[in-house]
Amino acid sequence: SMVADQLGLIHCMDALMLITTTEYVSPVSDENVTVTATEFSNVAVRLYTPRKEAGGLRRSMIFFHGGGWCLGDAGMKSYDHMMRWTAHRLNAVVVSVNYRLAPKYRFPTQFEDVYSVTKFFLQPSVLAQYGVDPDRVCVAGDSAGGNLAAAVAQQLLEDSEVKTKLKVQVLIYPALQTLDLDSPSYRENKNDGILSKMLMVRFWNEYITGDTALGEAMASNRHIPAELSHLFQFVNWSSLLPEEMKKDHIYTSPTYGSSELARKYPSFLDVRVAPLLATDAQLRQLPPTYILTCEQDVLRDEGVMYARRLEAAGVPVTHDHGKDAFHGALMFISSPTELAIGHRLLNRLTEWLDENL
R_g of the chain, CA atoms, integer Å: 19
* Residue numbers annotated as active site: 143, 297, 327
Residues 162 and 193 sit within 8 Å (Cβ to Cβ) = no
CA dist 218 and 220 (Å) reads 5
Q: List 292's β-bridge partners, or say none.
A: 172, 320
CB-based burial, 266-290: b 16+ in 10 Å, e otherwise: ebbbbbbbbbbbbeeeebebbbbbb
For residue 8, the one-letter residue type is G
Strands (E), the chain: 33-40, 43-50, 58-64, 92-98, 132-142, 168-172, 289-296, 317-326
How far is CA 29 from each of CA 19, 34, 219, 306, rounded to the nearest angstrom?
23, 5, 44, 37
